[in-house]
Structure 1
Amino acid sequence: MSRTRIDQLASKYMNHDMITLHTELPEFPKGRISLLYTLLSHQPLTASHKDLLSVVTTLVQMGLDTHDMVENASGAAEVGTQGMRTQQLRVLAGDYFSSRFYHLLSQAGQIETIRRLSEAVCDINRLKMSFYSKLNQMKLNAEEYLHIGAELRSGLFLSFTSIMNGLHAKLWPDIVNRFSRCELLLQEIGRVERTSSLADSWGVWHILQEGSEEDRRLLADGKEDTGLLKSLLLKYEVVDKLGALLRQSTSQLQTLIQRLQSDKLMKELQPLLEPFLNATGQQRATALKELG
């Protein structure tokens, strides 16, 4: 299934005039959905249901991600009535996507899938509560940030492990977790390069962990100061460090995929790795150019 095909199938159940006109939605989880679809295509028990399972997983993930866009009450109050309406609409949009997920699976008699995905949502929400608590208390280090972030991204997809066969079931948890880590690292590089939403980025936690005492103090006191953040992220070469982590994770992911022992499956999965390989290749080219 092409990414365009996944978009089309999911959009059929997500489109709603009120949502489209009045609020933005989170980024579509194309990579993880394509990864899931490809593996399901190679499972005897799920191949005939791969479209349905991919679509409902998309709906649940979009519901979770849309709820994540809802700001806390004080933040919403600061942007006035329109801001409050936007936040309320995001809550409703997330609930709407979840309702479509239940409806589609119940119609298809996929009660066990409803149970597995619902349990995964509960686990993800518990993990989010712990994660946000650590964020607010400043009790987080850079590796924990990546580890928990990858767990949050892979949680729904891990629920399909039990319906995979043999080697696929054994390798799937590591593959989807490593893929999610690569996605997160690529997102973090983009955040630094665009200087957007830097306050709780990986770079901040890296500096708070590895920076000088003076820089840690400056950062703790001025996390909302974009100019300060940019200068510190540059000083500690955060983009280069993220690039190195992405190269490492991409290499590990390639090794895991090779262990699937299927040339056909490896060929189908290769396009999903291209964004990670391209990003690391561009960074290397930039570094060589600067050295030259």
Structure 2
Amino acid sequence: MDGYVVPQLAKKNIQYDMIQKHTDLPSFPYSRSRLLYIFLNKHSTSSTDKISELYTLVTSLIQIGMDTHDLVDVGEEQIEMKKMRTRQLRVLAGDYFSSKFYHLLSQAGQIDTIHSLSHAISEVNRLKINLYMKMKKFKLSAEDYFQHCIDIKSQLYLIFTNYMDEMLQKQWPDILVSITKCELITEEIDKMNQIQIKDLRGSWAYWYILKQATSEEKEMLKKDSCNKSLIQSVLLKYNIKVKLHQMLENQWKDVSEKVNNIKNENIKNELEKIGQPFISYLSASKV
């Protein structure tokens, strides 16, 4: 599918000088979005290309908008003007990106899809609140945290199940969740390079260590501020990077088995392309 241009279309809708000057934006949800496009566009024609492109674009914009909101730091009561501007722009940018789907879908007469996505957004917000409440009370295992994140990341994309061919409807949820797991694990690996406690707390590693840690380590991890070298030593002690790479390897094997069960060769080939970033992570871990 060399004609896949959704990331470029999304870029046109989110690249504004004011936003780029004062804040960073989250990454484009490449894996989930391309996956959605290829499942919607099984029979590639000029008409299916356009509608699949539209659905994938608006879903990506909503996801970027919601991810932008997640970057807003609400922990500091008094912050300097530059950080305040960044916070304000993230809120406004998130609102703007998320609202673009109304405009794009209404122009195309896709009112039912607007309703479906609006409901999905509400569900994502409900799931996020549940997760944040459990995190605040420290009532969360690493497995629970991981599953909550999978549910949150896949919710928007699951609404398109009934838009697909009957055979693909059966395979879509399972493949989506499997790819989302790979995506989440690679994000967790990247987080290990950010060793401030506020960044670590929103990670699988934090909740895994909290379960295994000594009383002294637990006390340290529950504080709002913590010495970077101490955090790094705990990550090394519990072999977090190795465990994450093992998780990714096992998950990619699971995806590969699912891909082999798909009869459509075009979708198989596209899934292999989607998997290249994950394979690169695995290759890097063996160097």
TM score, norm. by length of structure 2: 0.91
Following TM superposition, by how much is the alpha carbon of 1:166 offset from its aligned partner in structure 2, in angstroms? Answer: 1.8
What's 2:158 paired with?
Answer: 158
What's 2:52 paired with?
Answer: 50
The residue type equivalent to 1:65 in the other structure is D
What's 1:82 paired with?
Answer: 82
Q: Distance in 2 between matches of 1:219 and 1:98?
A: 34
Following TM superposition, by how much is the alpha carbon of 1:160 offset from its aligned partner in structure 2, in angstroms? Answer: 0.6
Following TM superposition, by how much is the alpha carbon of 1:19 offset from its aligned partner in structure 2, in angstroms? Answer: 1.9
- Structure with more relative contact order (C-alpha pairs < 8 Å, separation 6 or more): 2
1:93 aligns with 2:93: yes
Following TM superposition, by how much is the alpha carbon of 1:253 offset from its aligned partner in structure 2, in angstroms? Answer: 1.4
Q: After superposition, what is the alpha-carbon deviation per residue over 1:180-239, rounded to whole angstroms, capped at 9, x for unaligned?
A: 111111111121145462233221211111234443344334763321111011011111
1:124 aligns with 2:124: yes
Judge conservation of contact 2:201–2:207 (CA < 8 Å) in 1: no
| 3-state SS of 1:198 partner | helix
Extract unaligned runs of 5+ from structure 2: none
| 3-state SS of 1:269 partner | helix
Give the % identical residues.
Answer: 39
Judge conservation of contact 1:203–1:238 (CA < 8 Å) in 2: yes
1:16 aligns with 2:11: no
Judge conservation of contact 2:220–2:226 (CA < 8 Å) in 1: no
CA separation of 1:138 and 1:96: change in aligned 2, threshold 3 A: same
TM score, norm. by length of structure 1: 0.89
The residue type equivalent to 2:33 in the other structure is I
What's 1:188 paired with?
Answer: 188
| 3-state SS of 1:19 partner | helix
Query: What is the count of residue pairs matched by the alignment?
Result: 283
What's 2:279 paired with?
Answer: 277
What's 2:138 paired with?
Answer: 138
Judge conservation of contact 1:124–1:155 (CA < 8 Å) in 2: yes
What's 2:241 paired with?
Answer: 239
Q: Distance in 1 between matches of 2:223 and 2:87?
A: 28
CA separation of 1:119 and 1:2: change in aligned 2, threshold 3 A: farther
Counterpart pick for 1:249 among 251, 266, 284: 251
Could you list the structure 1 runs, at least 4 aligned residues long, displaced by more than 4 angstroms after superposition.
1-4, 43-48
Q: Distance in 1 between matches of 2:8 and 2:265?
A: 28
CA separation of 1:84 and 1:214: change in aligned 2, threshold 3 A: closer
What's 2:66 paired with?
Answer: 64
Extract unaligned runs of 5+ from structure 1: 287-292
RMSD: 2.1
Q: Distance in 2 between matches of 1:217 and 1:99?
A: 42
Q: Distance in 2 between matches of 1:113 and 1:93?
A: 23
